[in-house]
Amino acid sequence: MKRHTAREKAFQILFQLDINDNEPQQAIEAFLETEESDDFLKKLVEGVTEQKVKIDAIISENLENWTINRIASVERTILRIATFEITFMDDIPNNVSINEAVELGNTYGDDKSGKFVNGVLSKIVA
């Protein structure tokens, strides 16, 4: 599975976990059903879930006139994935994480999501 596809699937799984309080492994298995699991996908879902408190603190520190709870679930989930990559995964360049997050925002959010995600992540890496 390509990393872009893994990120997209991780986004969908984490979005569901944000709404339903399931176990990450169960959510991955239920979502993938017949597809083979992917190490990168698993690392993103489990990593974001395990580091959620730290990730949310980092995001919150870089918000202007917003709180983490006021951010729509789509943008919040995308920011969590990218912040996890930036903070905890040294093998991915920051600009790749940001570009992938902006693309997810443009695909799954509204017309302002990509710009919002880009703005917050740019402050995080500055």
For each of the domains in the chain, give its residue range(s) and CATH number, in order of start: 3-125 (1.10.940.10)
CA 66 vs CA 6, 45, 72, 95, 116: distances in Å: 29, 25, 11, 24, 11
Q: Rg (Cα) of the chain, in Å, rounded? A: 13
Residue 104: pLDDT band with limits 50, 70, 90: very high
- pLDDT, position 93: 95
Residue 34: pLDDT band with limits 50, 70, 90: low
pLDDT per residue as tens digits for the range 50-74: 999 999 999 999 998 889 999 999 9
pTM for the predicted model, two decimal places: 0.91
Helical ranges in the chain per DSSP H:
3-19, 24-32, 39-50, 52-61, 73-88, 94-108, 113-125
Question: From CA 66, how far away is CA 59, in angstroms rounded?
Answer: 10
